Amino acid sequence: MIDPNVGIDGFTVGTPLATLEGLDGVEITPYGPERGISTMCYGEYRTENVYGTISVRGSWGDPPDDPTPYYEVATMRSDQPIATPEGITVGASEADVLAAYPGATRYGNGDLGVDLGDETIRSWVFTIGDTGLVTEVMLDGVDRCSDPADAPNEPDGPTYTGGPEDFEPGGWRVSGDEAFGPVWLGMTVGELSQLEGVQITPAADAVYCYGTFQYQHLSGLISVRRDLRTDSGPTPAESEDDYRVTFVSSSVDASTTPLGLGRGSTLEQVRQAYPGLIEGETFDPFVPDAYNPAVNWVFHTNDGETVSGIALDAGQNCAG
């Protein structure tokens, strides 16, 4: 049996790499650049009883120059059947899992997940086989080992910086918006047009909405801005400079919120991380940024249970 707070062999999900390196019987294998994955993933570990990944766990939006202090045990698995404190192990049925964990969430691949609801951001993941029985139990801590290799710097692309006021409540910027770079909320049409390969499609009625854009895995809206804090009506555009990027969306794994939520996260995990989440039948769940409520974090979902992508909305006026 594994207690998530205790783990096994002297560590658990969330244990820093520096601590892991000091434990006897732990074999650590760093990953090299040939794997083509992000430097946010350090590598893997193995002991006599368990194995898993070592990674930055998506808990920050602006990666530091040196991620080493942020590497932690991110997943814990075993070659042998392990049991949760509630008695769920390999061979248990779906009914057993749901009885032990009434709040379990079914993932898109059919597995069941149970958010532990702690600050460490951990969950039990139960792999369900074709027979409807549990074939593996894993303690998951949201690793970043499926993220692609870090993109090289692109000095020729436009960089929207704005002024200091853009980082204040009511401005354009929020912590974590680097996940959508090189597109930034508040970009003018001219700045956006500097991105090589960007496709901008004008709208039929350009009083409030200029149009849509597509750039690589990013898409969004260009419009005049309304104040989401008061939901007051926008002022019609008088010139092209009045139109800004007011909505940007991404559906790749590498784009996450500062708390590590993104594609593949469950809505239950989002609710736990953001208690102020607003949900409804006619719109995607969203939550105002904690520091700048003039910008919303939006969580796209196709099945009502799993996040398919995230977005930032600064008061767009093109849809809904």
Q: Which of 71, 80, 88, 92 is nearest to 123 (CA)?
A: 88
3-state helix, strand, coil in the chain (%, to 5): 15, 30, 55
Selection from 60-64, 181-185, 232-236 with the highest mean pLDDT = 181-185
- Same domain membership, residue 181 and residue 131: no
Q: Which of 216, 213, 234 is nearest to 225 (CA)?
A: 234
Within a domain: 176: yes
Residue written as token pair 């801005």? 225
- Same domain membership, residue 209 and residue 90: no
- Among the candidates 86, 105, 140, a domain finishes at 140
Q: Supply the mean pLDDT for the chain.
A: 86
CA distance to 140, 231, 252, 303, per residue, from 300 (Å): 22, 21, 12, 10
The length of the chain in residues reads 320
* pLDDT band at 60; cut points 50, 70, 90: very low
Distance CA 86, CA 185 (A): 46
Give the pLDDT of residue 155: 46
Contacts of 151 (CB under 8 A, 6+ apart): none
Mean pLDDT of 259-279: 91
Within a domain: 148: no
Within a domain: 301: yes
Helix (H, G, I), strand (E, B) or coil at 42: strand
Mean pLDDT of 274-293: 91
- Same domain membership, residue 130 and residue 82: yes
Within a domain: 300: yes
- Same domain membership, residue 206 and residue 90: no
* pLDDT band at 163; cut points 50, 70, 90: low
CA distance to 186, 211, 225, 228, 277, per residue, from 171 (Å): 9, 22, 11, 11, 21
* pLDDT band at 95; cut points 50, 70, 90: very high
Q: Which domain covers residue 132, as residue numbers?
A: 17-140
Within a domain: 46: yes
pLDDT digits (tens, 9 = 90+) for 184-219: 999 999 999 999 999 999 988 778 899 999 999 999
**Does pLDDT of 168 surpass 90?**
no
- Same domain membership, residue 136 and residue 229: no
- Same domain membership, residue 300 and residue 255: yes
- Same domain membership, residue 309 and residue 224: yes
- Same domain membership, residue 308 and residue 178: yes
**Does pLDDT of 270 surpass 90?**
yes
